Amino acid sequence: MRILVVEDDINLNRQLSDALKEAGYVVDQAFDGEEGHYLGDNEPYDAVILDIGLPVVDGITVVEKWRASGKGMPVLMLTARDRWSDKVAGIDAGADDYVAKPFHVEEVLARVRALIRRAAGHSSSEIVCGPVRLDTKASKASVDGMPLKLTSHEFRLLSYLMHHMGQVVSRTELVEHMYDQDFDRDSNTIEVFVGRLRKKLGVDLIETVRGLGYRMQAPADMR
């Protein structure tokens, strides 16, 4: 899962980005509204954390521009605690949720998880596909109750496929959501990670859809 953090406070941006990376997300950073708008307009994100009080272009204008151009990624807006009007303006502009400063990073992570789950059509913090369980809160996965030992890339792959169960996901889409903007992307590596993940799962849940990509879903007798 790939997240964009748009926050001009360098320390806060780093704090949020480090916490997200530790939780298993890929993170891109922007420090003003113009840069944030550009990245959100040109890169695919599973969620965006967006401050209202940004230099160059304010956060409300940024989210308004994204929505006007058809960008639908979930947006969590950071607002000042004593400015209720900012919260209303942010939601009206197209933000999906907000957190007031100062905040606990754990709350931001929880809200980001919820936004991503809801955007993918899941209501629970656990996503289940046959014998495989993905705990989005703990960033862990298991098969038949036994913990899976996954690399960071394998976990991101499994997480993305499980969030989009039943859908065909292209190699390009997987690459875009597994790596940050500066990574030397190569869609051929996805085949390697899929192969490793299949072996670790030990069950046939990831289907190769010729010419299109991959689809994860449990066989009918496992549902």
What pLDDT score does 50 carry? 98
- Residue 148 pLDDT > 60: yes
Q: Considering the chain, what is the average pLDDT of its residues?
A: 91
Q: Which amino acid is at 53?
A: G
* Local structure of residue 182 (DSSP, 8 states): T
pLDDT at 223: 57
pLDDT tens, position by position, 149-189: 999 889 999 999 999 999 999 998 998 888 776 666 565 78
Q: What is the predicted pLDDT for the residue at 185?
A: 59
- Contact between 49 and 78 (Cβ < 8 Å): yes
Q: Tell me what pLDDT residue 186 has.
A: 62
User: Are the beta carbons of 2 and 173 closer than 8 angstroms?
Assistant: no
Model confidence at 4, pLDDT cuts 50, 70, 90, reads very high
The answer to whether residues 24 and 77 belong to one domain is: yes
Q: How confident is the model at residue 65 (pLDDT cuts 50, 70, 90)?
A: very high
The pLDDT > 70 percentage for the chain reads 94
Same domain assignment for residues 6 and 109: yes
Is the pLDDT at 3 greater than 60, yes or no? Answer: yes
Q: Are residues 112 and 187 in the same domain?
A: no
pTM: 0.85
CATH number at residue 188: 1.10.10.10
Rounded distance, CA 157 to CA 163, Å?
10
Q: Are residues 138 and 172 in the same domain?
A: yes
Q: Which domain holds residue 63?
A: 2-119
β pairing state of 97-101 and 75-80: parallel
Number of domains in the chain: 2
Same domain, 114 and 132: no
**Do 160 and 101 share a structural domain?**
no
Same domain for 45 and 64: yes
What are the tokens at 80? Answer: 């000042």
The phi, psi pair for 216, rounded to 5°, reads -110, 125
Q: Do 141 and 205 belong together in one domain?
A: yes
